[in-house]
Amino acid sequence: MLMLDVDRLLWSFRKTAGLPTPGMPYGGWEEPKAELRGHFVGHYLSASALM
């Protein structure tokens, strides 16, 4: 989990909020055109809370 880049995880959130989007978004579920974007981030936050 510590290997994941937070800027890449938050890319879609920041884009939607009109904030600067440093870096590139992750692909797969987090791809900007994917309907599931943000889904993985929810799992990441849940796992982080359990650490």
pLDDT at 1: 81
Q: Where do the structural domains in the chain lie, given as residue ranges?
A: 6-50
pLDDT digits (tens, 9 = 90+) for 8-40: 999 999 999 999 999 899 999 899 999 888 889
Q: List, in order, residues 6 or more apart from 44 with CB less than 8 Å away.
A: 1, 4, 9
Shortest CA distance to 28 belongs to which of 13, 9, 47, 46? Answer: 9
Burial 4-32 (b: 16+ CB within 10 A, else e): eeeebbbbbeeeeeeeebeeebbeeebee
